[in-house]
Structure 1
Amino acid sequence: MDAQDNRDVRVVAAFDGAPVGEASPSGSRKDLLKVTDQDATFSLRCSRGFTALDVVSGRLVVKAQCGDREKALRFTAHDLTVLKKAALKELNADVTPALWSPADLDAVKARVKTGSMTPVLLPAGLPSPDGSAIIGLRGHLFLTGGSNSLLSQYQAPVDDAVLSRVDRWVDLFAQRQEQCEARGLRYLQTVLPEKLTALRADALLQIDGPSRLLQELESRLRGTDFYVSGLEPFDQWSSEDDPFLMADTHLSAAGAQSVFAALAARIDPQLVPLIEAIRMDEVRYATGDLSGRFGLPIYSRIVEPSEDQVSAYRGGLEMVEKHFPPENGSIGRRFRWVNDTAPSALKVLVFGNSFFSIGDFAGSLSWWGKHFFREFHFQWAPDVDWALVDELRPDIVVGQTVERFLGRIPEA
């Protein structure tokens, strides 16, 4: 609704078209503006109960009405995901969900190590049971939903809301650059694309490019001193290895190598030929973060460098800090490596997410960082911790996020 006095608004619930409840806004919460364009709160008591299936099927509808205008109220992406999962449980209440016991899965794990895998033909476009992912071409799995309602980000028009978010991101990056300059430090920022963007031809969806937010952001930031395009490494992909893992939303080793080379070109250009000289010469298999959404032990073929490929940079490598916060979750994890055999003497501090991760696999950008920089720090966080920056005094601060998170603007 347009900005109106909340006293003129009614909230109405209807089930199969029949009214079952009505209320008026009872207050406001400014923190709601982070997830919606209104700050009104209300409590709605209905004349009957409902199931999660009633909600996700569209039988229950809640609308805000003001005069002769009305607007359907939507659940947040997170709440809708919870409701969809609950609805699936309702549908499958009388069906045994487990196809294999843990013993069944353990019995075949040894075959995975020997590469005893087999192709299975499944229809492209088949959705996962929870509706959050699909099977694409060539065996690739794609995230389409989840808590960030990913597919809807590609369908959103370039309206005032999108342009406002772009402005806020640009302002945030400019503030970070100013903070670093005031400390005598360098700053770089990158936004990595989704697998759905980089491999959209395999997804069989109507996606003609990056999400509207990322398109606008790249347009504004390309050519600035501090921004490293996350799209350019994938624009003209020519490697025989795909840039993303088949059963996962994250980069393959080849994809991480390309992204890291783009960052290194701005941090310490003499590293680029050394990075590009690393060959992918080992193969193994592992499930991915999208496998479980299909209820199947779907594996990715992982092609990565052997230890021999980085032997010149491993002799002095040591992890000297591994911090896990007491709360569950990834935010706040911190890792630090020192490496006196690294080819670059720089100290680098990264604030990012799972695309850097713990650095135990060459598809993780931290794996490359720990081998190529004398001192490499990774803080798993969307915000820049300026107290940590002042404590560590790195040569360069790197900020990293990913396309699906562009709807959330960090504080710092």
Structure 2
Amino acid sequence: MQGYAERFDFERQIIRGWVFDPEAADNRDVRVVATFDGEIVGETRPSATRGDLQKITTQDAWFSLECSRRFTALDVVSGRFLVKALSDGREAALSLGAEGLATLRKTAVEELNGVSSTTLWSPEDRNAVKHQVEAGNLSPMLMPAGLPSMDGSAVIGLRGHLFLTGGTNSLLSLYDEPVDDALLSRVDQWMDVLAQRGEGCEARGARFVQTIIPEKLTVLREDAPLDIDGPSPVLLEIESRLRDADFYVSGLAPFEEWNEVDDPFLMTDTHFSAVGAQRMFSALAAQIDPQLVPLVDGVRMYQFRHAVGDLTGRFRLPFYSRIVEPSADELAAYAGGLTMVEKHFPADGGMRGRRFRWTNSTAPSPLKVLVFGNSFFGTGDFAGYLSWWGKHLFREFHFHWGPDIDWDLMDELKPDLVVGQTVERFLNRVAAS
């Protein structure tokens, strides 16, 4: 059996990871159990697929396991707490990769020294200063550029920006990848997938648009304490091949001549700021429905607040982004008929398979748009999410969180236009459809 226990949430007592038994007829028959001093304290089975495991298996392999007894990093490192896979009388312990094990050991040392395993600030501490954050009373601190996060997957850059450098996609390795037969073959496969998407949409009477959003490291490379010359070789090759394609919207072009006061990415996050999403959506609108471009470009950003980002937790310090966003009245003329008709979250708690659907009788565009993408479209709650713009401007806007085109869903919804969206770091694995 193959697999890893990859992520430990010590506050919620949850372990996530994957397991695959090539000898099992159905991988969902594999049991994943957690034991504490030999006693079973949690049990589950693989319940979802994951894109980065496609080379290993197309069966459900990802699991999320909740335990009935609280455990700590020290319990895991000491061996008191174990995660095992059981299948047809066979048993295998699931371990961490080298990077995860190093992080776990570091957390265990912090526990021995009396430091919280999840953050240097307890929930009580954070609540005590919440009103200071809401009032904007944050103090700038000077930190050395290049300082790595606690888990080694991110670094502090210039001007207060945090940058993802590692993670499950080994982000930095993308920039050093040679332009060899393996890379060109992967690009060929991407071209085939995109051609199939276009043909499938055309056969169903829908238009097709594809975009690839670049990494924060690519766009803000001058602020990164690393030698990043430009986009990754694989993104450059794909952009070169699709330069004249009528279905492709470049994710690089909107940020090449940046002249805004605010940055296109949030300081403590890997995702767009509101103005970054505005620029990206304007580029998409120019391809989808050009009448929307002046409406998008005319939205003003003048409200301020502060929030942590998806990279904050990696440093175990309460780093915040200053968020600039439009007020509710900026698109008020197109919000009167806006209704969320679906908000679906998968039972396994994962991101893939989430669905968000809106109808808007006051939208300026009559199009029904279906997007297959990821967190850059997100929940639509904030103008930094591309879905925020889509739900205001299209008569129907549907977002499905996933890397592949779901043709059955498309046949059900019958959209006027389909958008495929991925990000630079995911180009190392080709979408299935």
TM-score, normalising length from structure 1? 0.81
Tell me the equivalent position of 2:186.
Answer: 165
Give the secondary-structure state (helix, strand or coil) at the position aligned to 1:301: strand
Separation in structure 2 between the aligned mates of residue 168 and residue 210 of structure 1, nearest angstrom: 20
Selected match of 1:185 from 200, 203, 206: 206
Q: Which is higher, the Rg of structure 1 or of structure 2?
A: 1
Tell me the equivalent position of 2:124.
Answer: 103
Tell me the equivalent position of 2:221.
Answer: 200
State the Cα deviation string for residues 48-97 of structure 1 (Å, max 9, x = none): xxxx99xxxxxxxxxxxxxxxxxxxxxxxx93442332342355463233
Tell me the equivalent position of 1:22.
Answer: none
Separation in structure 2 between the aligned mates of residue 213 and residue 179 of structure 1, nearest angstrom: 25
- How far 1:117 moved relative to its partner? 1.0
Selected match of 2:312 from 288, 291, 314: 291
Selected match of 2:167 from 142, 146, 153: 146
Separation in structure 2 between the aligned mates of residue 409 and residue 389 of structure 1, nearest angstrom: 21
Give the secondary-structure state (helix, strand or coil) at the position aligned to 1:307: coil
List alignment gaps of at least 5 residues for structure 1.
1-26, 37-51, 54-77
Separation in structure 2 between the aligned mates of residue 356 and residue 226 of structure 1, nearest angstrom: 19
Tell me the equivalent position of 2:277.
Answer: 256
State the Cα deviation string for residues 105-150 of structure 1 (Å, max 9, x = none): 1100111111111101101111111100000000000000011100
State the Cα deviation string for residues 174-200 of structure 1 (Å, max 9, x = none): 100010111111000000001010000
State the Cα deviation string for residues 331-368 of structure 1 (Å, max 9, x = none): 00001001111110100000000000110000000000
Selected match of 1:333 from 354, 358, 363: 354
Tell me the equivalent position of 2:232.
Answer: 211
Give the secondary-structure state (helix, strand or coil) at the position aligned to 1:400: strand
Paired amino acid for 1:369: G
- 1:391 to 2:412 alignment: yes
Contact 1:349/1:377, CA 8 A, preserved across alignment? yes
Paired amino acid for 1:104: D
Tell me the equivalent position of 1:316.
Answer: 337
Paired amino acid for 2:191: V
Separation in structure 1 between the aligned mates of residue 424 and residue 124 of structure 2, nearest angstrom: 38
Give the secondary-structure state (helix, strand or coil) at the position aligned to 2:112: coil
Separation in structure 2 between the aligned mates of residue 79 and residue 101 of structure 1, nearest angstrom: 28
Tell me the equivalent position of 2:289.
Answer: 268
- 1:113 to 2:131 alignment: no
List alignment gaps of at least 5 residues for structure 2.
1-21, 24-50, 57-75, 78-95
Tell me the equivalent position of 1:83.
Answer: 101
Contact 2:377/2:386, CA 8 A, preserved across alignment? yes
Paired amino acid for 1:227: Y
Separation in structure 1 between the aligned mates of residue 271 and residue 293 of structure 2, nearest angstrom: 22
Separation in structure 2 between the aligned mates of residue 204 and residue 288 of structure 1, nearest angstrom: 19
Tell me the equivalent position of 1:379.
Answer: 400
Tell me the equivalent position of 1:69.
Answer: none
Tell me the equivalent position of 2:13.
Answer: none
Contact 1:81/1:146, CA 8 A, preserved across alignment? no
- 1:364 to 2:382 alignment: no
Contact 1:81/1:147, CA 8 A, preserved across alignment? no
Separation in structure 2 between the aligned mates of residue 368 and residue 89 of structure 1, nearest angstrom: 40
Contact 1:190/1:399, CA 8 A, preserved across alignment? yes
State the Cα deviation string for residues 261-308 of structure 1 (Å, max 9, x = none): 000001000100010000001000000000000001110000000001
Separation in structure 2 between the aligned mates of residue 81 and residue 329 of structure 1, nearest angstrom: 22
Separation in structure 2 between the aligned mates of residue 170 and residue 289 of structure 1, nearest angstrom: 31
* Percent pairwise identity: 64
State the Cα deviation string for residues 32-54 of structure 1 (Å, max 9, x = none): 99559xxxxxxxxxxxxxxx99x
Structure-to-structure mapping, 1:41-56, within 5 angstroms: none
- Alpha carbons of structure 1 residues 377 and 34: separation in structure 2 relative to 1, 3 Å: closer
Give the secondary-structure state (helix, strand or coil) at the position aligned to 2:239: helix
Give the secondary-structure state (helix, strand or coil) at the position aligned to 1:196: helix
Contact 1:261/1:275, CA 8 A, preserved across alignment? yes
Tell me the equivalent position of 2:3.
Answer: none
- Alpha carbons of structure 1 residues 165 and 79: separation in structure 2 relative to 1, 3 Å: farther
Contact 1:348/1:376, CA 8 A, preserved across alignment? yes
